[in-house]
Structure 1
Amino acid sequence: MLTDGKATVVSAASAAILFTQIQNDGIPFGYHQANCHNIAHYICLLAKAQNITLAKIWAFTPGIYTASSRRVISFTDQNKLSPTGKIDWGYHVAPVILVEEEGAVVKMAIDPVLFPEGPVPYKAWLDRIKTKKLIYLLMDAEWYLFNTSYLNNTQLEFFDMQTDEPVKPNVIFPYWFANKCVTDFFKYEEDSLLYAWLEKGLAVNDTASEFYENEIKPILDDPSASALLKDYRDLVGNVFNFETVFRDYMYNYEMNIDFYERHALIIEEYRNVFNTHVEKWKQKVAELGILL
């Protein structure tokens, strides 16, 4: 949860300077389908490198925290990239900066995708993604991502892989969260650090944005390219398909052998693009020289 006194309190001027730096750092905000957790975590690293400790706000839809609902955050894809025309988020997360204004400390969300003008009070951020029965948590910045389960927190027992003894979860949720299926949070360490989830997530967004600009945008209004546009939307507009092909080198029911054969050359080209972006983000993270 949010530890009192851990996040840095800054002036409005300092918050504005940090926001400008965030906008100018090359963070891939243009692909809206996924990876808000990686963008948020990188922003927290960027701020920490300047001795500013941020927090995070996590918003969960019923589609994530309960097995009995499919309700998610849903909005029109302005880039016309999604195969359905909509973008769906089961959750969303943004960094939070504590800003002193007229003697009061205000929790401000940093989300250039939803609010490109600057930080906004976190309740304004929640209003923008308003969904029925949305719940939120304010958390320390080091919590990178969360686990979910078909069992809720009152039913689930935590076990160490080395023993049969139950162990405590990383995060003790408030009592009103007890019946939710978001079961625990974890830090950017162990497997996530070893396999560069952060850098690969940012590279996914970079590569998808590049694919959109170079391959999809020029044919959006070309009736003769409708079949190709459908394939490209299936590939890039669905982040699970995109990650399957470019990050994981795998197949699924849409990204099947026939699809690979039809688009072998461009898949090979953008796998190289993806790998280049991964190395770029590894270098940028290494240059920051910190972990949360």
Structure 2
Amino acid sequence: MKVIITDCDHESMDIEEKIFADAGIEMELKQAFSEDEVIEQCQDGDIFIVQYANITEKVMDHCPKLKYVVRYGVGVDTVDVPAATSRGIQVGNVPDYGMNEVADHAIALALALSRKIVKMDAFTKDEKWDYIESIPVHRFSEQTVGVVGLGRIGRNFAKKMNGLGFRVIGTDPYFHATRETEEYLTAVSMDEVIEQSDIISLHCPADGNKDLFNEETFKKMKNTAVLINVARGGIINENDLEQALTKGEIGGAALDCMVGEPVGTDSPLFKHKNVIVTPHMAWYSEEAAKELKRKVAEESVRFAKGEPIHYPINKVS
């Protein structure tokens, strides 16, 4: 089988090249993003490794050799999974490569907002040395953290936040509590998370959760509560968020994921001093980046050799 990396912005492909060379599998790197570019450049590929390219129904119909699509990352929103399933094309991802990094980034954002680090850094440098501007700040043990989405990353985040002293509640329609999770997390309804939490952190997929946090949601939140998004753009209605911040309906937000990435510096959300933004980097550490590259290549080799892959998204006959 032939592997085509449809697109990739990594500095080096040394890890992938070695794994495929050792397995005796041919690999080519393209820079195809649109449907037409993928169709034009990748027709002879049996396996696609995808970073940003759109693998649509049209692409699949024009790439008849395609048997497996695996993503550099967790989300597969650029792949038409139902269309792939109906055509017998396997889809996969790497859901665990940056699990600690994403959880840790959400924690860093949550603590920065809770302790008003960014605000007070700017105030101290630009105005004066005076903690009064930070009032009020509350003890961690007096605050409730709500987690929306209790998969690998959400549970990792919840356990660590509990270890810092926060009361942690969470919601997920697919979550089943165990004796271990009950030690650091209480499962509740979505409404309870929205209404009780001082910090809400999103760890759910975008699929099925578009505009989950919107005008109505913000009105139900505490006006001191802050919202963290390290999941996907689109889960938060950003126009409604901007209005909620302007009206003082919530206390702040920290966004690692936004709609229409890369986002320009003219975003109206960026003018708010109680908003922290990072450029979709929660997944990143040097170690996570290498792990992702290795696992994507190893999954491709397993599929090419007829072995079970570790991270299937769909079931194909």
Q: Same fold (TM over 0.5)?
A: no
TM-score normalised to the size of structure 2? 0.22
TM-score normalised to the size of structure 1? 0.23
* Greater relative CO, 1 or 2 (CA 8 Å, sep 6+): 1
Q: Give the greater-gyration-radius structure (CA).
A: 2
